[in-house]
Amino acid sequence: MRIVFDLDGTLIDSAPDIHATSNAVLEERGFAPLTYAQVKSFIGKGVPHLVHQLLQASEADPNGPLHAEMVAAINARYERAVGLTQPYPGVREALAALAAQGWRLGICTNKPLAPTRAVLRHLDLQDAFEIVLGGDSLPERKPDPTPLYAAFAGLGEGPALYVGDSEVDAETAARAEIAFALYTEGYRKAPVETLPHDVAFADYAELPAIAAQVAR
């Protein structure tokens, strides 16, 4: 029995740290800070996409030489950008309950691997997951289903459930043809009913029962 989770917007609310890091990098280059809502809407497709959106919102060339420079600058800060990040309510309890039910747990995120591991260590969640794949672990990243397939392969055989919060996660699960539970309190921009999903939930206390239903 296998469950793979997205990270940002699914297990953890990291938007405050990503917002602060993004604005620090922008301000170093003479740009005005962007709002929390703006930066939050850019999360989910990895750092190159984030920087593209930051530059575009700052009326700068998103494909110019600043792009690579800012990707490197954000990546350099990313491992330390953990102080404002918290797990969503009920996440710790749900992970413990799932493990007790016999589920093997993994993570498949577009966040780079080093900051992914750093934030899991900071939150003392690193031991909950048997496999952790970041956006730079493979040449492909979500919504390409390849990383999701790899994460599930690392967990062995059995029923499979993917848990995510966004349009990217919904598309990834649909392309992989894997059952998808949509966490509705994350960084999704589109209405819930417009995203393909098998079940939607707002409270992590519901997830063990959802998983048990998938297993049946």
Is residue 147 a contact partner of residue 171, using CB atoms and an 8 Å limit? no
Per the structure block, which two tokens stand in for 41? 């809407």
Q: Where are the alpha helices (DSSP H) in the chain?
A: 15-28, 36-41, 47-57, 65-78, 91-101, 113-122, 146-153, 167-176, 207-215
Per the structure block, which two tokens stand in for 135? 């956006």
DSSP 8-class letter at 187:
S
Per the structure block, which two tokens stand in for 38? 């703006």
SS3 content of the chain, % helix, strand, coil (to 5): 45, 15, 40
Helix (H) or strand (E) holding 200: strand 199-201
Question: Would residue 6 show up in a list of annotated catalytic residues for this protein?
Answer: yes
CA 28 – CA 164 distance, rounded (Å): 33
> Which residue is catalytic, options 6, 8, 165, 169?
6
Rg of the chain over Cα atoms, rounded to whole angstroms, equals 17
Q: Which residues are part of the catalytic machinery?
A: 6
